Amino acid sequence: MTVSAKDLRFKISMLFDALSKKEDIIITYRNKPKAKLIPYDGNSSNKEKSDALFGLWKDRDDDVDTIVRELRKGRSFDI
């Protein structure tokens, strides 16, 4: 389903009805697609992250506080 930004403002209940029927909604602004609404799936939060960078530092022994303190430490330049 494709709707305009004006429909989003004035016909929101129609959009919720479409989402309850598991339809994807494309929102356009000046006839150009700008956003996509997809129905919420309550089970998606339990899925394991498939991002390659997720858990990148999970094997490090340093705790986060130590790393942040090192990053925030002031620099000294010897001339």
| Total domain count, the chain | 1
Confidence band, pLDDT 50/70/90 cuts, at residue 34: very high
- Going from the C-alpha of 9 to that of each of 12, 13, 27, 57, the distances in angstroms are 6, 10, 11, 43
CA 69 to chain CA centroid, nearest Å: 28
Instruction: Quote the tokens at residue 46.
Output: 């339990």
Is residue 29 in some structural domain? yes
Is residue 55 in some structural domain? no
Confidence band, pLDDT 50/70/90 cuts, at residue 33: very high
Is residue 79 in some structural domain? no
Is residue 11 in some structural domain? yes
Enclosing domain of residue 10: 1-39
Distance CA 51, CA 78 (A): 42
Q: Minimum mean pLDDT among 2-11, 13-22, 49-58: which range?
A: 49-58
Helix (H, G, I), strand (E, B) or coil at 60: coil
CATH number of the structural domain spanning residue 28:
3.40.1620.10
Is residue 57 in some structural domain? no
Residue given tokens 């989003």 in the structure block: 8
pLDDT at 50: 66
Instruction: Quote the tokens at residue 21.
Output: 């029927």
